[in-house]
Structure 1
Amino acid sequence: MLLLPMSCILLMCLFLTSSFPFPIKASFNLSLPHQHSHPQSVVNELQRKVNISLSRRELLSKDQACLTGNPIDDCWRCDPNWAANRQRLADCGIGFGRDALGGKGGQIYTVTDSSDSNPSNPIPGTLRHAVIQDEPLWIIFSADMTINLRHELIFNSFKTIDGRGANVQITGHGCITLQYVSNIIIHNIHVHHCKPSGNTNIRSSPTHVGFRGISDGDGISIFGARKIWIDHCSLSYCTDGLIDAIMGSTGITISNSHFAHHDEVMLLGHDDKYMPDKGMQVTIAFNHFGEGLVQRMPRCRHGYIHVVNNDFTQWEMYAIGGSASPTINSQGNRYTAPSNPDSKEVTKRVETNENDWSDWNWKTDGDIMVNGAFFVPSGAGASAQYAEATSLQPKSAGQIDQLTMYSGAFGDPRDNGDLYPGFNGGGTVTGSSKGKNVPGSSSGGDDGNIFGMIFGGGSSHAPPPSPSSFIIHFN
Structure 2
Amino acid sequence: GNPIDDCWRCDPNWASDRQRLADCGIGFGRAALGGKGGRFYVVNDSSDRDTVTPAPGTLRHAVIQDEPLWITFESGATMVIKLKHELIVNSYKTIDGRGADVRITGNGCITLQYVSNVIIHNVHVYGCTPSGNTNIRSTPTHVGYRGRSDGDGISIFGSRDLWIDHCALSLCTDGLIDAIMGSTGITISNNYFSHHDEVMLLGHDDKYLPDSGMQVTIAFNKFGEGLVQRMPRCRRGYIHVVNNDFYEWKMYAIGGSANPTINSEGNRYMAPSDPSAKEVTKREDTNEGEWAAWNWRTEGDIMVNGAFFVPSGQGASLQYAKASSVDPKSAALIDQLTVNSGVLGGP
- Structure 2 alignment gaps of length 5 or more: none
| Residues 1:295 and 2:221 are matched in the alignment | no
The answer for the alignment partner of 1:136 in structure 2 is 68
Q: How much has 1:144 moved relative to structure 2?
A: 1.8
Give the distance between the partners of 1:205 and 1:161, measured in 2 at CA: 16
The aligned amino acid for 1:313 is Y
Q: How much has 1:396 moved relative to structure 2?
A: 1.2
Aligned-partner SS, 1:356: helix
Give the distance between the partners of 1:337 and 1:221, measured in 2 at CA: 28
Aligned-partner SS, 1:146: strand
Alignment of 1:75-474 (within 5 A): 75-142=7-74, 143-381=77-315, 394-413=328-347
Aligned-partner SS, 1:135: coil
Give the distance between the partners of 2:165 and 2:179, measured in 1 at CA: 15
Give the distance between the partners of 2:320 and 2:209, measured in 1 at CA: 25
Alpha-carbon deviations, 1:340-361, whole Å to 9, x = none?
0000000000000000000000
TM-score (norm 1): 0.71
**Is the 2:85–2:108 contact (alpha carbons within 8 Å) kept by the matching residues of 1?**
yes
Aligned-partner SS, 1:239: coil
Give the distance between the partners of 1:165 and 1:319, measured in 2 at CA: 33
The aligned amino acid for 1:265 is V
| RMSD (Å) for aligned C-alpha atoms | 1.6
Aligned-partner SS, 2:174: coil
Q: How much has 1:301 moved relative to structure 2?
A: 0.2
The aligned amino acid for 2:232 is P
Alpha-carbon deviations, 1:66-121, whole Å to 9, x = none?
xxx10000000111111111000000000000000000000000000000000011
Alpha-carbon deviations, 1:258-288, whole Å to 9, x = none?
0000000000001000000001100000000
**Is the 2:263–2:320 contact (alpha carbons within 8 Å) kept by the matching residues of 1?**
no
Give the distance between the partners of 1:334 and 1:320, measured in 2 at CA: 13
Q: How much has 1:195 moved relative to structure 2?
A: 0.2
TM-score (norm 2): 0.96
The answer for the alignment partner of 1:18 in structure 2 is none
Give the distance between the partners of 1:314 and 1:144, measured in 2 at CA: 29
The aligned amino acid for 1:370 is V
Q: How much has 1:382 moved relative to structure 2?
A: 9.3
Alpha-carbon deviations, 1:324-345, whole Å to 9, x = none?
0000000000000000000000
Aligned-partner SS, 2:314: helix
Q: How many residues align?
A: 342
CA change 1:106–1:382 in 2 (3 A) is: closer
Q: How much has 1:411 moved relative to structure 2?
A: 2.2
Q: How much has 1:380 moved relative to structure 2?
A: 2.5
The aligned amino acid for 2:90 is N
Q: Looking at CA atoms only, which structure, 1 or 2, has the larger radius of gyration?
A: 1
Q: How much has 1:289 moved relative to structure 2?
A: 0.2
Give the distance between the partners of 2:28 and 2:252, measured in 1 at CA: 25
- Structure 1 alignment gaps of length 5 or more: 1-68, 414-475
Give the distance between the partners of 1:165 and 1:136, measured in 2 at CA: 21
Give the distance between the partners of 1:400 and 1:412, measured in 2 at CA: 20
Q: How much has 1:412 moved relative to structure 2?
A: 3.0
Give the distance between the partners of 2:31 and 2:327, measured in 1 at CA: 23
**Is the 1:362–1:380 contact (alpha carbons within 8 Å) kept by the matching residues of 2?**
no
Aligned-partner SS, 2:46: coil
Q: How much has 1:394 moved relative to structure 2?
A: 2.1
Give the distance between the partners of 1:173 and 1:393, measured in 2 at CA: 38
Structure 1's consecutive aligned runs of 4 or more residues displaced over 6 angstroms after TM superposition are: none
Give the distance between the partners of 2:50 and 2:255, measured in 1 at CA: 40
Q: How much has 1:410 moved relative to structure 2?
A: 1.1
